[in-house]
Chain A
Amino acid sequence: MATTEESLHIPSHSRSKPLEYSTEDGALRIFGFWVFLVTDMLLFSCFFATYAVLYRHISTGPTPSAIFDVRGYTAETLILLTSSFTSGIATYEMRRQNKSGLITWTIITLLLGLSFIGLEVSEFWSDVVSGATMQTSAFLSAFFTLVGTHGCHVSFGIIWITSVLIQVIRRGITPVTSRKVFITSLYWHFLDVVWVFLFTVVYMIGGMY
């Protein structure tokens, strides 16, 4: 009987695939991360469902439209969508083996991410100062949890991408670092997609009440 020897982690470079997919290990981890994103999407779905059920339950607190700052969340949206685009360019530069391009566009992505977090924190801060806290109403509990979970994900992403950036600077574009860059960019795009739903469900639909 014929046997083959396709060991798990032995890198078998092939020119036809992108570098991050060139090892079995890399392909495996990228696929695993996609499956993880499914679970994360479902976690957000549950929080979205909670928000959809509770956003009219304002008790004695303010309505959604009373606290939403249109300029603030519009700016956040533009910044995050742009950062997803720059993250895409970073991946493109990585595929072209352009290390300095990858580093530059990653730093731009990080700066945009940081300014997004800055705006969100200031939005939350002004809400809390005006008395609209998580304890005020079921709507605000759901709002802060849903948007805050997204914000935590973005903050985590910033730390994660920074650590990957350091590795790229130290080691260059290798099968391992390119896989890490690719996975963090998947994560970043995913957060962007979640934000599109946040924008629609929380700020647009919620803002009509």
Chain B
Amino acid sequence: MPVDIKNFLTHFFVTGYPLIYGADASIILATVAILFVLTYFKKWKWLWTEWLTTVDHKKIGIMYLIAALLMMFRGGVDAILMRTQLMLPNMHFLGPQHYNEIFTTHGTLMILFVAMPFIFALFNIVVPLQIGARDVAFPYLNAISFWLFFFAALLLNLSFVIGGSPDAGWSSYPPLAGAEFDKGPGENYYLLSLQITGIGSMATGINFLVTILKMRAPGLTLMRLPLFTWSVVGACILIIVSFPALTAALALLLIDRVAGAHFFTMLAGGMPMMYVNLFWIWGHPEVYIVVLPAFGVFSEVVATFSKKRIFGYTSMVASIMVITVISYFVWVHHFFTMGAGPGVNSFFALATMAIAIPTGVKVFNWLFTMYRGRIRITAPMLWTLGFIPNFAIGGATGVLLAVAPADYQYHNSYFLIAHFHQVLIGGTIYGMLAGMYYWWPKMFGHRLSEGLAKHAFWWFNLGFYICFMPQYALGLMGMTRRIYTYPKGLGWGPYNFIATVGAYMMAIGFVLIVANVVYSAFYGERDTTGDIWDARTLEWSLPSPAPHYNFAVIPHVDRRDAWWVMKQERKEGKTTLDLQQEPIRPIHMPNNSGRPFILGVCFFTVGFGFAFSWYALVVLGFLAVAVLLLVRSFEYEDSHYIPVEEIKETEAAYGRL
């Protein structure tokens, strides 16, 4: 009997690696510390009523932001471990299996659990405020989306210490990821956690598209919409049309693995290429899903800090929509070498190159906006300026990769690694950080320290070039991706050493970003005006942080850059929005609910059950989900009105009445 228990435990818990024991210890310590702090300061009730049950889009956005930064830490630690392993030839810092697990979870985390929540954070924080709405279209669904993402992230991270991590690469191609070659629960964890977070993402896409199309303030026509919101429209359309393909690919692979079906197994007629196609029909639009909102942030930041309206607004909108469409016709460039034939390859090569045109339009528009502007080099502007050369280089190497015949040389080499890090970090992460610095005062009522922000930027930006420029060279020298060590004498050593130094510098940059968050919470400059940057769009017409109902009175919009126009009119002595003269009415708001959180727990149960093929747990989880859906269907009292007195009191406290 004790032997059985020991076998079970060694199968259940990952053993044998000192680093994993370190992870075990840090998880336990962090959990104990959190429980202690919550209990000691008596914050349990506060946590439940203010955060876990909230349906307020601004708070959900903040939770997405915190989760994204935490996951960025986790994914960053993976990156540091990999770079340390590759620093010198013949290193023995990580074993091959451990290395496989780390690069798999690094990619999965960074795309789905960093980039996605980071863009959703900004969607939630910014979009309703920018369009003059009091809420998103479906606030309850919005909370569900967040908790599905949250528990999916927990599920994936748990795999490192319980059961074993996925190890077949972030794209998880069969047959390698099939049951025959990958028996452990790791791949199941991957499939389930992506499936669960994918459902949440799809709901977010629907939610924000409906919000933007149906809930804009009166007069805010589509062609007056701020560009960030336009970029969210593009991203949401892409989410809606591409995520179902991911759902299908993951579901089919899961059926193959747990039910022994033959979609992708070669035996009995399966076809692995079917998975590759389905995966990249989602996977390629996905990179535009995460980069379009970054483009939106740059448009807002450049206009605000150049004190000019954006150059070429119409062409900016057009290029967002063109990118949205073309990004759906490029997926085959991920497997030019896998036998699609010259006709198909040519089509997808040309479509891929064509995407550079609208992207170029956007970059030129940002530059022309800055031309003769009164530029202020603030933290958000610094990340925007840093982005431009990054994207120029990343775009150029992207076009090189799009040349199908040449791709046979670069395919799966470090040249590719350098390219996509250049555009995904240099585009999405720079954009999201710019957005974080830009909207931080709106979220928390104080700004982040400029001094620390600049240090962080330069460590990160220089580290970024030092890390990834050598990798272009390594790729051309023949170093392929996913190798865990390499021999001496190939000439790769110095480049890898330099790249690793760059990675450490980026880590210092990240630590400084987090230090800034902590420092500024105590010492950051308070924002009393609500419009700390002298900005142009509606969210800055509200106090910082915005009251929970957003707008006491919905503004009427008759021009682009509505808030800027209002400020100009006010300077000229014209009357603008004046709360004293407007009738304030009771505001209808949704009630908080604990069910989205519990729903997340139930989906987690289903995922965990599937990972170990404990079907009783799966059935239990599904039944609980069904019960929760039925309870929701029968719920009628799910909203309340904020009385006029309360609104007046709140507004008076802000000094607006």
B residues less than 8 Å from A42 (CB atoms): 241, 244-245
Q: Interface readout for A123-142 with B: 1 if CB under 8 Å, 0 if not?
A: 00000000000111111011
Q: Interface readout for A1-26 with B: 1 if CB under 8 Å, 0 if not?
A: 11111111110000000000000000
Q: Does A72 contact B (CB under 8 A)?
A: no
B residues less than 8 Å from A134 (CB atoms): 255, 259-261
Contacting residue for A7 out of B134, B251, B262, B270, CB 8 A: B134
A residues less than 8 Å from B134 (CB atoms): 7-8
Q: Does B153 contact A (CB under 8 A)?
A: no
Q: Interface readout for B120-157 with A: 1 if CB under 8 Å, 0 if not?
A: 00000000000001110110000000000000000000
Interface pick from A30-38, A94-102, A105-113, A185-193: A30-38
A residues less than 8 Å from B271 (CB atoms): 53-54, 57, 138
Q: Which residue of B lies closest to A7 (CB)?
A: B588
Q: Is the CB of B263 within 8 A of A46?
A: no
Q: Interface readout for B564-606 with A: 1 if CB under 8 Å, 0 if not?
A: 0010010000011100001101011000000000000000000
Q: Which residue of B lies closest to A55 (CB)?
A: B269
B residues less than 8 Å from A136 (CB atoms): 268
Q: Does B274 contact A (CB under 8 A)?
A: yes
How many A-B residue pairs lie within 8 Å, measured between CB atoms?
149
Q: Does B218 contact A (CB under 8 A)?
A: yes
A residues less than 8 Å from B249 (CB atoms): 46
Please judge, given known A-B contacts A1-B556, A6-B554, A32-B137, whether A39 and B206 are in contact too, CB under 8 Å: yes
B residues less than 8 Å from A28 (CB atoms): 137-138, 210, 214-215
Q: Does B322 contact A (CB under 8 A)?
A: no
Q: Is the CB of B554 within 8 A of A1?
A: no
CA distance A59 to B630 in the complex (A): 43
Task: Report the minimum CB–CB distance from A180 to chain B (whole Å).
Answer: 8
Q: Which of B198-231 contact A (CB under 8 A)?
A: 202, 206-207, 209-210, 213-215, 218
Q: Is the CB of B218 within 8 A of A4?
A: yes
Q: Is the CB of A39 within 8 A of B138?
A: no
Please judge, given known A-B contacts A28-B214, A59-B268, A141-B261, whether A7 and B585 are in contact too, CB under 8 Å: yes
Q: Does A164 contact B (CB under 8 A)?
A: yes
Q: Which residue of A lies closest to B138 (CB)?
A: A32
Q: Is the CB of A163 within 8 A of B634?
A: yes
Q: Which residue of A lies closest to B584 (CB)?
A: A5
Task: Report the minimum CB–CB distance from B77 to chain A (whole Å).
Answer: 34
Residue of A1, A6, A164 most packed against chain B (CB within 10 A):
A1
Q: Is the CB of A39 within 8 A of B248?
A: no
Q: Is the CB of A46 within 8 A of B248?
A: yes
CA distance A10 to B210 in the complex (A): 18
CA distance A180 to B248 in the complex (A): 28
Give the total of B residues in contact with A, Cβ under 8 Å: 60
B residues less than 8 Å from A142 (CB atoms): 263
Q: Which of B274-289 contact A (CB under 8 A)?
A: 274, 278, 281
A residues less than 8 Å from B517 (CB atoms): none
Q: Does B247 contact A (CB under 8 A)?
A: yes
Q: Does A43 contact B (CB under 8 A)?
A: yes
Please judge, given known A-B contacts A32-B137, A35-B210, A39-B240, whether A135 and B260 are in contact too, CB under 8 Å: yes
Q: Is the CB of A141 within 8 A of B566?
A: no
Task: Report the minimum CB–CB distance from A32 to chain B (whole Å).
Answer: 5
Q: Is the CB of A141 within 8 A of B244?
A: no
Task: Report the minimum CB–CB distance from B367 to chain A (whole Å).
Answer: 34
Q: Which of A128-178 contact B (CB under 8 A)?
A: 134-139, 141-142, 144-145, 159-160, 163-164, 166-167, 176
Q: Is the CB of B210 within 8 A of A176?
A: no
Q: Is the CB of B556 within 8 A of A2?
A: yes
Q: Is the CB of B210 within 8 A of A135?
A: no
Q: Which residue of A lies closest to B213 (CB)?
A: A31
Q: Does A50 contact B (CB under 8 A)?
A: yes
Give the interface size bracket for A toward B.
Answer: 35 or more
Q: Does B633 contact A (CB under 8 A)?
A: yes
CA distance A163 to B215 in the complex (A): 29
Q: Is the CB of A31 within 8 A of B636?
A: no
Please judge, given known A-B contacts A4-B554, A135-B261, whether A40 and B137 are in contact too, CB under 8 Å: no
Q: Which of B456-490 contact A (CB under 8 A)?
A: none
Q: Interface readout for B623-634 with A: 1 if CB under 8 Å, 0 if not?
A: 000100010011
Q: Which of B233-273 contact A (CB under 8 A)?
A: 240-241, 243-245, 247-249, 251-252, 255-256, 259-263, 265, 267-271
Please judge, given known A-B contacts A7-B588, A8-B133, A42-B244, whether A1 and B569 are in contact too, CB under 8 Å: yes
Task: Report the minimum CB–CB distance from A161 to chain B (whole Å).
Answer: 11
Q: Does B555 contact A (CB under 8 A)?
A: yes
Please judge, given known A-B contacts A6-B218, A7-B587, whether A39 and B244 are in contact too, CB under 8 Å: yes
A residues less than 8 Å from B267 (CB atoms): 59
CA distance A163 to B249 in the complex (A): 32
Please judge, given known A-B contacts A8-B135, A8-B215, A32-B137, whether A39 and B243 are in contact too, CB under 8 Å: yes
Q: Interface readout for A52-86 with B: 1 if CB under 8 Å, 0 if not?
A: 01100111110000000000000000000000000
Contacting residue for A145 out of B245, B261, B281, B556, CB 8 A: B261
Q: Which residue of A lies closest to B590 (CB)?
A: A9
Task: Report the minimum CB–CB distance from B634 to chain A (whole Å).
Answer: 7
Contacting residue for A3 out of B210, B243, B555, CB 8 A: B555
CA distance A6 to B587 in the complex (A): 10
A residues less than 8 Å from B207 (CB atoms): 32
Q: Is the CB of A138 within 8 A of B206?
A: no
Q: Does A197 contact B (CB under 8 A)?
A: no
Q: Does B97 contact A (CB under 8 A)?
A: no
Q: Is the CB of A167 within 8 A of B218?
A: no
Q: Is the CB of B269 within 8 A of A58?
A: yes
CA distance A163 to B628 in the complex (A): 13
Q: Does A47 contact B (CB under 8 A)?
A: yes
B residues less than 8 Å from A39 (CB atoms): 202, 206, 240, 243-244
Please judge, given known A-B contacts A9-B588, A47-B248, whether A141 and B255 are in contact too, CB under 8 Å: yes
A residues less than 8 Å from B215 (CB atoms): 8, 28
A residues less than 8 Å from B262 (CB atoms): 59, 135, 137-138, 141
A residues less than 8 Å from B556 (CB atoms): 1-4
CA distance A141 to B138 in the complex (A): 36
Q: Does B639 contact A (CB under 8 A)?
A: yes
Q: Does B353 contact A (CB under 8 A)?
A: no
Q: Is the CB of B214 within 8 A of A50?
A: no
Q: Does B553 contact A (CB under 8 A)?
A: yes
B residues less than 8 Å from A9 (CB atoms): 588, 639
Q: Is the CB of B255 within 8 A of A137?
A: no
Q: Which residue of A lies closest to B574 (CB)?
A: A1
Q: Is the CB of A35 within 8 A of B248?
A: no
Residue of B215, B248, B278, B636 most packed against chain A (CB within 10 A):
B248
Contacting residue for A31 out of B214, B241, B248, B555, CB 8 A: B214
Q: Is the CB of A5 within 8 A of B206?
A: no
Q: Which residue of B lies closest to A33 (CB)?
A: B206
Q: Which residue of A lies closest to B207 (CB)?
A: A32
Q: Is the CB of B209 within 8 A of A35?
A: yes
CA distance A47 to B265 in the complex (A): 17
Contacting residue for A176 out of B135, B241, B566, B636, CB 8 A: B636
Q: Which residue of B lies closest to A145 (CB)?
A: B255
Cross-chain pairs A/B with CB under 8 angstroms, 21 sampled = A1-B576, A4-B218, A4-B556, A27-B214, A39-B243, A47-B248, A53-B271, A54-B263, A54-B269, A57-B270, A135-B260, A135-B261, A137-B268, A138-B263, A139-B269, A144-B261, A145-B255, A145-B261, A145-B263, A160-B633, A180-B633
Closest 5 CB pairs of A and B: A57-B269, A46-B248, A138-B269, A42-B244, A141-B261
